[in-house]
Amino acid sequence: MVRKIVFPDAEESLAPMFKGPRLSKLEELGEFIIYYGNQPDDETFIHRIADANAVISGWGLSNTVLAALPNLEIISFTGLGVSTFIDLAETTRRNITVTHTLSTSETIAEHTMGLMLDAARHISRLDRDIRKGFWNKELVGLDLRGKTLGLVGFGRIAQAVVPLAQAFGMKVISWTRNPDKQRAAQCNIKFMELDHLLASSDVVSLHLSLTPETERLINADRLRLLKPGALIVNTARSKIIDGRAFIESLRSGHIGAAGIDVFDDEPISSNHPLIEFDNVVMTPHVAYNTPEALEEMFDTAIQNLVAFYSGRPQNVAPNSKA
Longest dimension (CA), the chain: 70
- Pseudo-torsion of CA 272, 287, 62, 37, nearest 10°? 90
- Answer yes or no: 266 catalytic: yes
Q: How far is CA 175 from CA 47, 170, 183, 208, in A?
A: 44, 16, 12, 10
- Answer yes or no: 90 catalytic: no
DSSP 61-97: --HHHHHT-TT--EEEESSS-GGGTS-HHHHHHTT-E
Q: Would you say how long the chain is, in residues? A: 322
Which of 264, 259, 256 is closest to 283 using CA atoms?
Answer: 259
- Answer yes or no: 11 catalytic: no
For residue 161, what are the contacts with CB-CB under 8 A and spacing of at least 6? 109, 112, 113, 149, 151, 172, 205, 207
- Which of 121, 285, 295, 296 does the annotation list as catalytic? 285
- Which of 27, 28, 43, 266 does the annotation list as catalytic? 266
d(CA 3, CA 53): 6
- Which of 237, 272, 292, 296 does the annotation list as catalytic? 237
d(CA 139, CA 92): 53
Q: How far is CA 240 from CA 151, 283, 301, in A?
A: 13, 17, 26
- Pseudo-torsion of CA 253, 242, 102, 165, nearest 10°? 20
Residue 22 bridge partners (DSSP): none
| In contact, 256 and 201? CB cutoff 8 Å | no
Neighbouring C-beta atoms of residue 60, cutoff 10 Å:
22
| In contact, 104 and 297? CB cutoff 8 Å | yes
Strand (E) or helix (H) holding 35: strand 31-36
Could you list the active site residues? 237, 266, 285
